[in-house]
Structure 1
Amino acid sequence: MLAVLDEAAAGQVTVVTAPAGYGKTLLLAEWAARRPEQTAWVSLDDDDSDDRRFWSAVLASLGSCAAVPAGNPLHALIVPGRPSRDPVFLAAVVDAIAALPGPVRLVLDDIHELTAPDPLHGLAALVRDRPAALHLVLSGRAEPPVPLGRMRLAGQLREIRADLLRFSVPEAAEMLVAADTPVSPDQLRLLVEQTEGWAAGLRLAALSLREVADPDRFLTDLVGNGRAVSDYLVGEILSRLPVGTRELLGAVSICSELSAPLAVALSGRADAGEVLDSLERETGLVLSMGEGRTWYRLHRLLRSHLRADLRRQRPDAMVRLYGRAADWFAAEGQPAAALTYARRGGAPDRVVRLLREHATTLIAAGEHELVRTALDWLGAPFRGDPWLALVAALVATEGGALAQADAHIARAVAAWPSDPAPELVALRGLVRSRRVIVAGDPDDTPGETGSQAAEELGLGPMAMLHRGIGSLGEGRPDEARDIVGSALGRARQQHHGYLAALGLTLLAVIAGMEGDYRRMTELAEAADAEPGNPAWPATIGAGWSSTMRAYGALLRADPAECLDLVAADETGPERSLPEYSDDLLVLRTALRGAALFDLGRTGEGLDGLRDAQLVAAGRPGSPEVTATVAVLVHRATTLLGRTDLARAALSRAENGLRGSGEVGYLRARHQAAIGRYRAASETLAPLLDGSVPFVLPWIQVEARVLECQLALRLERRPEARRALDDALSLTAAMDVLRPLASSPPEVIDLLTRHVGSFGAEEPTTARVLAARRTLGAQPVPLTDRERAVLSLLPTQRSFEEIAVDLTVSHSTVKTHVRAIYSKFGVSSRRDAVASARLHGILSSDA
């Protein structure tokens, strides 16, 4: 700020404007002290509205300035009876300043005290006709009533306002250190937030904090707990405002933000907008905001004081004001704000009416927590009302809390009227349909019931989403995509942020089913970023969008990001999380295990993948989730040499995915793992020519990688190169790097030796090799005999005893042990066991 003041050249005008307590005078005093010989200072008060007194003070200040030599006419000027109306006198002042040998700075502090017409006329003349040698500084709580617009346009005006004078968090920290008032970082942020950087508020709070026993409690209500702050607000700010203005501010203080029409409705004054605009311009106590700056807000501490005063002295008026605000917002088509103010006003009838009229629209817009809070606030009255009970069931369903939803549905049924209104019947149909979708039961479909119910309730986008889900379930993805795309457009037009995010998530699922995993990820990210959607993180839809993103990250060979996304429930901040359906829980568990495995934490990864199998056991699951779990588990167990577990995974796939390409792929992979390369190649053939379709499109890349590996093992190098080319092409098209990035060493060797010959797929090659470097250590390959020896190392048996148990020679056991040590990079039996446990080859209790 000192730099801003210094940058103003002689002949310019600087205006410093802010409410009381922002440090205007201290700033100017420090600036003046740096060049006192050039500075003339006048501290104005209400007496200076006398014209002669004002000009006498100005001349006296200039005369005492060292920059004004003894012979300058300023020392001899006589102040006439009405100096500001005397053009000869005003011209003499300007001429005398112009004759100075160097620049001079005239500071008029507290310019708001100058209110009489004559001195204001003289000040305007001085501003207009100021000589080049004069730097005029006008400081006050309101903008000086002199014409400044032309100077702004001409670049002749410098301005410092409250926004620049506000203390930042680091600046406030320095102030509190200087005041010997220690606070924690959280307390400091709260203090700056409460005061909005108001210097006087910070200083008064610092003094009070020294004396309070519980700083956290004190800071939660700075005005209510800090008498010094309230006294300052009253004595220095509110007491100086007209009574009518103070009453208007009290009325509008119930709203954190308000427009001029709302201010009119609250205060009953037709000129309320003009008053707010004037207060912003003249005092800085009110700030305009938003597009076109047509909305206003009061300074936080001032609003807190006014609300506390209203609550204490006129609680009945406060209730009426909340009701007026609720009615105004409802009439303006803003039911969320209307419901908020109705609840604050303690009016159950108004809250019930608003919920009956707008609850479904609010849920579509994403205001789930608002509706839930209102229902909880009503308490018992809503439990016997079937409409409100079904609204509660709908909110619970969208959050995945199906047990809660069922309890609310049961209450609605218990209170069901003998002649229900069509809207009530429609709401019941919508709740039941949404429950089927959220539960993810593949044996049940929402049918047309949910779509028709949503249409009857005025939720066109939700009706379209239900139709899209029906089309997808009937195997018409193109039709589903078109319907959901239209639903997305309508949801955005109607500002239904929640339904828009659901639409984006459903489009992401469709893209994944079609093998466009890049698009899947982009759509899921867009769902999570959809604006105006506060409820999204706590809904089942958000569970699916984050899972689609995690799935995409795993396929891009980015296991760290995948793990971050699926582990958010465990590591993220405390918040309300959805209760995942069976399919979603199985898929997230499997993705977490696969990500850990790819990061080299193979033991944890295998445990996670087996957990996914346990969760899925006995539950009907979608083919996509069943196939994903089967492929991920089989790959991990095969790489670890756990042929027993790999056979079990294959058996589950054969039972749950009969006739799918995944079953054939797993059979071929299993045959390859035991050295039956020709049989594996024959098993793989119908999958490669498209005779047997895959449930998961990305398994086509896995199949090509396996084809390449088998061709290399069978010394069919041209076939291996063709398979590699096909794998790269599919990798680029689907954005699926994982199969190639984690492929066997011989495939990677072929890839690296032919770098530079892949043409259009060369960038994909580079991505694959870069991704491989980020993956964790690959599992240690052990022979069956080495694994048998390893399984006995944790016991107390000697090598001789192990040899007897395995019916081999002592030297054979020692040979296997040396091989085990070499593969694990260790030199002792104990370290070999520890490393095997870390890699998941030995269980932790072995």
Structure 2
Amino acid sequence: MKTALPRLPERYVRRPRLVVAMEAAAPGHVTLVCAPAGYGKTLLLAEWASRHPDSTAWMSLDADDNDDRRFWSAVLTALASCPAVPQDSAVHRLAVPARPSGDTPFLAAVVDAVDLLPGPVHLVLDDVHELTAADPLRGLAGLVRDRPPGLHLVLGSRSDPPLALGRMRLSGEVHEIRAGALRFSVPEAAEMLAGIDVVLRPDQLRLLVEQTEGWAAGLRLAALSLREADDPDGFLADFAGNSRAISDYLVDEILARLPLERLDLLRAVSVCDPLSASLAAALSGRPDAGEVLDSLEHDTSLVLSSGQGRTWYRMHPLLRSHLLADLRRRRPDVVLDLHRRAADWYDAQGQPVPALAQARQARDHHRVDLLLRENSVSLIADGAHRAVREAMDGLGGRYVDQDPWLSLVAALVDVETGALAAADVHLDRADDVWPAEPTADLTALRVLVHARRVSLAGDPRAMVQVTEDLDATFDGQPELAVIGELDRALALLTVDRRREAQAVAEAATQRARLGGQAYLVARGLTVLAAAESARGDYRRMVTLAEEADGLVPGTDWLATAGAVLSSILRAYGALLRAEPAVCLDLLDPALAFGELQDEPLSAVDPTTRGLRGAALVDLGRVVEGLDELRRARTQTADQPRMAATSALLALLEYPAAALAGRPEAARTALDWAEHSLGDAGDVVLLRARRLTAMGRHGAAAEALRPLIDGTTPVLQPWVVVEAHVLDCHLALLAERREHARASLHRALASSDDMDVLRPLAFGPAEVADLLTSLLGSFDAREPVARRALHARFTLGADDRRTGLTGRERAVLDLLPSQRSFGEIATELTVSHSTVKTHVRAIYGKLGATSRRDAVDRARNRGLFSSGTS
């Protein structure tokens, strides 16, 4: 049973050092045992679990658990079978809904039920690598994230599961045992060999362990041959020669014991992995191929079945590589023919990706060409860009360049994956061989590729123009139509036609859903997320972007511009929630994406750079962050850019420059915003902030009025929160406390509605003081008030937002004394004008209007050095 604790083999080699390592996990940790196949992960977990039989729940995962309901049913069954779970526990009564991983109440009920157990429980999930579907992976991530203190999650996997392992490592939440630790030591290898009656001298044993690198499966394979070897030294001498010799010798010893007809079948099917009984029959010409594979599994374990109904088979990789290498060496013509048969079988099954791979390995350019013409558009719509690119590479550049259809397909793949320079080359090649009378399909593809290329160039006017007539271009080509509609929606967003963009994107996404095109659905969700950003619903923005990421897990999604957009939007949401560290983590895919391309898209994307700079500022790395923000702005100098992007960059750079004590940089950012955006509400806010810094509080309040009363439109909706925070600050400076309270309530309401904490978390100290004094009186807005203050405290916003340089702090320390500015200048060995410059900067950063005011504010914030009067 999949929820029964496995029994240890009779001659199992116990590994106390690894059991001790397992026990070292601290309470609340997640334990990850991760190594490739054959390293003894399951047996180690079983040995460790046997020491805790009363508190261990076990679940062996397989491919069937990619059904979300089956996964959660098995989890609950495993927990219910654990002796530590009493019969009256809610675990026994939980019903699994239709989409459990997306059912928040159900997930919360599972966590609550486990949390209420009388004692700790170890939940072992073995073979987590079998999980590939988005829903159960999302559910597992949620269980890891929200696990109660009494639940110890133990995961066994061949590869790192798609969890936030980097963050968990930083916070010390994960305890890992990897391949290096699982390797058999010399004493452990000796015990293993002795268990099957193989005894070696110490030098022989050390040589064997060195050559296998302690890999348990390799040691066992060697032991099978050593048990019957007349000359262990001769065996080991040949065994130690090189990896090819190791593979050949071991496999030959095993294959020599197989009947010839079985060996011939294994050779024939070695070109595919995994394979079904039907595919095995097509390759070998034997109708009973499935029965032969079944018997090989039962008799030798050289073949393993898996999947629903256990109808798919995999050979041991060492065995398969040997057979295929031997066949290529002896009969290369047969290998090519087998790949052709495999391509035909996969094509007949409606599986174009493996069909293309097999045709390419058969070196059958004609077959690859036909498969691409039949399937390339649908493959791109499904996100299978890598498969199409590899097929193109197999045909060769000269072959592709001579055909306009193939050149356009290559360009479309390039655009989808951000390789813009390569896309331009392929577009030029298509133009060079363009036919005098192109077909409608070829013309439609050309229109789409050009539109996609322009959509990544960043020129709003050009984007709108080239997508204007896309709707009527792709009649009868649903995949191209959806791609074109999504481009149209993005173009409309760039010119602030949000409602129209949202309607187009929703219709396109629905068409993609009906067509079962998960990749295009994910792309549609990112466009809808961008539309929510323009509307100011940042919570919904993040939700849609996360949904997109979950639909197409893996590298095929991560290597696309859609994934980059999702990464940027999720990072933007984290920044606005005052989570700068999370923002930086989420930007990693966008930043890494450019490194993989001929044309580093994300490296020249100002939004990515601007968000990174702002996050660095919020983390206290002000100078580094300001430099990133400046570079983001200057990158836009020669590029047509969305007004919303320009507004975002100005809104992030201006306060960073002020914080760094760089008034000239702040003024430059404001001048640029005024030139780029005119009198937009975003610029109104920056002007009011500048007037405030100059001590012209009345003028600042008057300038801010159009934002407060809503008569001036804004490009970035969260500017409204900033405006209310600044209005509150100005009211406090004018001793208009009731007005300040009203402004603070409006700021909290807007923050809560938008899920935007950053303006409050990094706002003026006076506003934070008022917020603190009024805690308990905000009713429904109380949670957002507490979240803002918690973020402020966690990030040390009060100290950092002061932003004093070292020399300014030295001047500040002398302000409480009776020294004149000239005497301070003499003491610090600087000029009188330098001191006056520093004092003005101090006043601006503290929001002070006089020397006494500055001293009072600095004393209240604890900014004076120890011993300052």
TM-score (norm: length of structure 2): 0.68
Q: CA distance change for structure 1 residues 334 and 681 in 2, over 3 Å: closer, same or farther? A: same
Is it true that 1:399 corresponds to 2:417 in the alignment?
yes
Q: SS at 1:256's partner residue?
A: coil
User: Contact 1:521–1:548 (CA<8 Å) still a contact in 2?
Assistant: yes
Gaps of 5+ in 2: 1-5, 13-37, 41-156, 158-177, 191-204, 813-820, 842-849
Counterpart position of 1:295: 312
Is it true that 1:269 corresponds to 2:286 in the alignment?
yes
1:305-320 → structure 2 map (5 Å cutoff): 305-320=322-337
Whole-angstrom distance in 1 between the partners of 2:469 and 2:234? 63
Q: Structure 1 residue 457: deviation in Å? A: 3.9
Q: Structure 1 residue 409: deviation in Å? A: 0.9
Whole-angstrom distance in 2 between the partners of 1:779 and 1:697? 23
Counterpart position of 1:442: 460
Q: SS at 1:173's partner residue?
A: coil
Q: Structure 1 residue 448: deviation in Å? A: 4.2
Counterpart position of 2:830: 802
Deviations 1:172-214 (A, max 9, x none): 42367653259899x859x56x859857489899999986999
Whole-angstrom distance in 2 between the partners of 1:344 and 1:692? 63
1:48-63 → structure 2 map (5 Å cutoff): none
Whole-angstrom distance in 1 between the partners of 2:447 and 2:568? 28
Whole-angstrom distance in 2 between the partners of 1:704 and 1:349? 67
Q: Find 2:713's aligned residue among 675, 689, 693.
A: 693
Whole-angstrom distance in 1 between the partners of 2:233 and 2:475? 61
Q: Structure 1 residue 798: deviation in Å? A: 6.6
Q: Structure 1 residue 294: deviation in Å? A: 2.4
Whole-angstrom distance in 2 between the partners of 1:208 and 1:486? 71
Whole-angstrom distance in 2 between the partners of 1:724 and 1:676? 21
Q: Find 1:518's aligned residue among 520, 539, 564.
A: 539
Counterpart position of 2:802: 780
Q: How many residue pairs were aligned?
A: 652
Whole-angstrom distance in 1 between the partners of 2:304 and 2:420? 45
1:738-757 → structure 2 map (5 Å cutoff): 738-757=758-777
Q: CA distance change for structure 1 residues 490 and 572 in 2, over 3 Å: closer, same or farther? A: closer
Indicate the RMSD between aligned Cα atoms, in angstroms.
Answer: 4.2
Q: Find 1:346's aligned residue among 344, 347, 363.
A: 363
User: Contact 2:365–2:395 (CA<8 Å) still a contact in 1?
Assistant: yes
Deviations 1:409-443 (A, max 9, x none): 11111111222222221211111011111222112
Counterpart position of 1:229: 250
Q: Structure 1 residue 477: deviation in Å? A: 3.1
1:19-58 → structure 2 map (5 Å cutoff): none
Q: SS at 2:780's partner residue?
A: helix
Deviations 1:802-841 (A, max 9, x none): 34666989x999x99x98999976699xxxxxxxxxxxxx
Q: Find 2:446's aligned residue among 425, 428, 436.
A: 428
Q: CA distance change for structure 1 residues 498 and 549 in 2, over 3 Å: closer, same or farther? A: same
Q: Structure 1 residue 701: deviation in Å? A: 0.7
Counterpart position of 1:491: 512
Q: SS at 2:456's partner residue?
A: helix
Gaps of 5+ in 1: 8-20, 24-162, 829-846
2:528 alignment partner AA: L
2:769 alignment partner AA: D
2:581 alignment partner AA: A
2:385 alignment partner AA: H
Counterpart position of 1:461: 482
Q: Find 1:280's aligned residue among 297, 303, 328.
A: 297
Is it true that 1:180 corresponds to 2:200 in the alignment?
no
Is it true that 1:554 corresponds to 2:571 in the alignment?
no
1:718 alignment partner AA: E
Whole-angstrom distance in 1 between the partners of 2:376 and 2:699? 62
1:653 alignment partner AA: A
Q: CA distance change for structure 1 residues 558 and 461 in 2, over 3 Å: closer, same or farther? A: same
Structure possessing the higher radius of gyration over alpha carbons: 1
Is it true that 1:630 corresponds to 2:650 in the alignment?
yes
2:323 alignment partner AA: L
Counterpart position of 2:65: none
Q: CA distance change for structure 1 residues 613 and 209 in 2, over 3 Å: closer, same or farther? A: farther
Whole-angstrom distance in 2 between the partners of 1:314 and 1:747? 80
Deviations 1:542-592 (A, max 9, x none): 22111111111111111112122335566799755873279x711111111
User: Contact 2:448–2:484 (CA<8 Å) still a contact in 1?
Assistant: no
Q: SS at 1:287's partner residue?
A: strand
Is it true that 1:718 corresponds to 2:738 in the alignment?
yes
1:295 alignment partner AA: W
Is it true that 1:325 corresponds to 2:342 in the alignment?
yes
Counterpart position of 2:45: none
Q: SS at 2:363's partner residue?
A: coil
Counterpart position of 1:148: none
Q: Find 1:580's aligned residue among 601, 621, 627.
A: 601
User: Contact 1:423–1:456 (CA<8 Å) still a contact in 2?
Assistant: no
Moved more, 512-521 or 442-451: 442-451
Whole-angstrom distance in 2 between the partners of 1:301 and 1:676? 78
Q: CA distance change for structure 1 residues 758 and 372 in 2, over 3 Å: closer, same or farther? A: same
Whole-angstrom distance in 2 between the partners of 1:213 and 1:281? 28
Q: CA distance change for structure 1 residues 171 and 614 in 2, over 3 Å: closer, same or farther? A: closer
Whole-angstrom distance in 1 between the partners of 2:758 and 2:749? 14
User: Contact 1:638–1:670 (CA<8 Å) still a contact in 2?
Assistant: no
Q: CA distance change for structure 1 residues 282 and 805 in 2, over 3 Å: closer, same or farther? A: closer
Counterpart position of 1:84: none
1:336 alignment partner AA: V
Moved more, 771-780 or 318-327: 771-780
Q: Structure 1 residue 474: deviation in Å? A: 6.1
Counterpart position of 1:259: 276
Q: Structure 1 residue 488: deviation in Å? A: 3.0
Q: Find 1:409's aligned residue among 396, 411, 427.
A: 427
Counterpart position of 2:621: 601
Is it true that 1:708 corresponds to 2:719 in the alignment?
no
Deviations 1:4-27 (A, max 9, x none): 6699xxxxxxxxxxxxx999xxxx
Q: SS at 1:250's partner residue?
A: helix
Q: Structure 1 residue 228: deviation in Å? A: 2.5
User: Contact 2:39–2:183 (CA<8 Å) still a contact in 1?
Assistant: no
Whole-angstrom distance in 1 between the partners of 2:585 and 2:275? 40
Q: Structure 1 residue 787: deviation in Å? A: 9.5
Whole-angstrom distance in 2 between the partners of 1:812 and 1:506? 46
Whole-angstrom distance in 2 between the partners of 1:604 and 1:202? 61
User: Contact 2:248–2:322 (CA<8 Å) still a contact in 1?
Assistant: no
Q: CA distance change for structure 1 residues 170 and 801 in 2, over 3 Å: closer, same or farther? A: closer
Q: Find 2:663's aligned residue among 639, 643, 646.
A: 643
Counterpart position of 1:82: none
Q: Structure 1 residue 673: deviation in Å? A: 1.1
Is it true that 1:244 corresponds to 2:270 in the alignment?
no
Q: SS at 2:555's partner residue?
A: coil
Whole-angstrom distance in 2 between the partners of 1:258 and 1:550? 41
Q: CA distance change for structure 1 residues 470 and 605 in 2, over 3 Å: closer, same or farther? A: closer
Deviations 1:639-680 (A, max 9, x none): 334322222221111111123111111111111111111111
Q: CA distance change for structure 1 residues 742 and 199 in 2, over 3 Å: closer, same or farther? A: farther
Counterpart position of 1:477: 498
Q: SS at 1:528's partner residue?
A: helix
TM-score (norm: length of structure 1): 0.69
User: Contact 1:641–1:781 (CA<8 Å) still a contact in 2?
Assistant: yes
User: Contact 1:385–1:412 (CA<8 Å) still a contact in 2?
Assistant: yes
User: Contact 1:709–1:746 (CA<8 Å) still a contact in 2?
Assistant: yes
Q: Find 1:360's aligned residue among 377, 385, 389.
A: 377
Q: Structure 1 residue 753: deviation in Å? A: 0.8
User: Contact 1:22–1:198 (CA<8 Å) still a contact in 2?
Assistant: no
Q: Find 1:500's aligned residue among 518, 521, 524.
A: 521
Q: Find 1:617's aligned residue among 637, 640, 650.
A: 637
User: Contact 2:762–2:801 (CA<8 Å) still a contact in 1?
Assistant: no
User: Contact 1:461–1:487 (CA<8 Å) still a contact in 2?
Assistant: yes
Whole-angstrom distance in 2 between the partners of 1:22 and 1:699? 55
Counterpart position of 1:766: 786
